[in-house]
Copies of this chain bind each other. A is one copy, B any other.
Amino acid sequence: MKKIINGVESLLEESLNGFAKAHEDIIEFNHQPHFVSRKQKAESGKVVLISGGGSGHEPLHTGLVGKGMLDAACPGQIFTSPTPDQMLAAAEAVDNSSGVLFIVKNYAGDVMNFEIAAEMLDCDHETVLVCDDVSLPKDHSTGRRGVAGTLIVEKIVGAAAEAGATLSECKALGDRVNNVTASMGVALTSCTVPALGQPTFDIGANEIEMGVGIHGERGREPMDLTSASNIVDHLTNAIDQDLNPQQGQKVLLHINGFGATPLMELYLMYDLAAHYWQQRGVEVVRSLVGNYTTSLDMAGASITLTLLDDELIELWDAPVHTANLRWGC
């Protein structure tokens, strides 16, 4: 295993220390228990948004804390859920007496820990469960996984909360965005979790893993390495079957790198995916291309589509000022 680290035990703490130093104008890092919150607390009356999950997906979620998006994020150990004490401490630190919205990716550990925290919270609260990964069928026993669409939920609901939406409005909006968002990814290599010290899964030199999860979970099927056009068609067809957008539908197209795939390849995928939707009569009106929901050092990428209306476009465009997503301010 080749990593720029001092040790498996200290990696998360040292990394968060660096993150906090580099962005001390935007965020604060609480050490015991771990959470990251806005340096400048939101004004009274605003619903606060808290997310979290295993580390190793940066900039999700810590890099998305700031005005217009999250109020706090709780990082667990790598690919491991944070614990309820983190969520409770974060909620206590940022609560504005207007309600707490948890945004949770659908993984058993995350769901359980956020549920426990929710039960212990003595303020109004709601949870939005993100499950945008269409590599699994809709009726999968534990539901679909939450992947790169999470950022889109966080951005749009974050803007609504900033604009004064109530807790129930934020909850309804988050569920709505989740329902019109679909993602699917492909891995060319496994990632290597430091504590494990070796690749999470085996993959042949001429093989790709179609429908991979962001922790290297096996997806739909391993396939022979094929052209970018075939890869993008495969991913986009799955999304198309799930969302089935109407002619003239406006959409946000997000190409997300898993960490080790060059930007050149991500933009090439964008070109192919945008072409697909154009041929389908679907109008790509917003885009996001880059490494946002990563899987450590995995090579590969995912495609996410969100169906937009004027309200969602306005919320997407609203100013956001976080460490790793910033526009309009």
- Residue in B3, B55, B228 whose beta carbon sits within 8 Å of that of A4 in the complex: B228
- Residue in B5, B18, B272 whose beta carbon sits within 8 Å of that of A289 in the complex: B18
Q: What residues of B have a CB within 8 angstroms of the CB of A228 in the complex?
A: 4-6, 14
Residue in chain B with minimal CB distance to A12: B264
Q: Which residues of chain A from 1 to 17 have any CB-CB distance to chain B below 8 Å in the complex?
A: 2-7, 11-12, 14-17
- With A22-B287, A260-B259, A297-B261 in contact, is A268–B2 under 8 Å at CB? no
Interface majority SS (helix, strand, loop, mixed), chain A = mixed
Q: What residues of B have a CB within 8 angstroms of the CB of A267 in the complex?
A: 15-16, 18-19, 22, 58
Expressed in whole angstroms, the Cα–Cα distance for A256 and B60 within the complex equals 19
Most B Cβ at <10 Å: residue of A6, A63, A294, A301: A6
Contact call A22/B270, Cβ cutoff below 8 A: yes
Minimal beta-carbon separation of A57 from chain B (angstroms): 9
Contact call A2/B271, Cβ cutoff below 8 A: no
Most B Cβ at <10 Å: residue of A14, A18, A189: A18
Contact call B4/A268, Cβ cutoff below 8 A: yes
Contact call A21/B271, Cβ cutoff below 8 A: yes
Q: What residues of B have a CB within 8 angstroms of the CB of A287 in the complex?
A: 21-23
Q: Which residues of chain A from 56 to 93 have any CB-CB distance to chain B below 8 Å in the complex?
A: 56, 58-59, 63, 78
Residue in chain B with minimal CB distance to A232: B4
Contact call A265/B4, Cβ cutoff below 8 A: yes
- Residue in B5, B12, B268 whose beta carbon sits within 8 Å of that of A18 in the complex: B268
Q: Which 5 residue pairs across A and B have the least CB separation, nearest first?
A: A18-B271, A18-B267, A260-B260, A18-B270, A58-B263
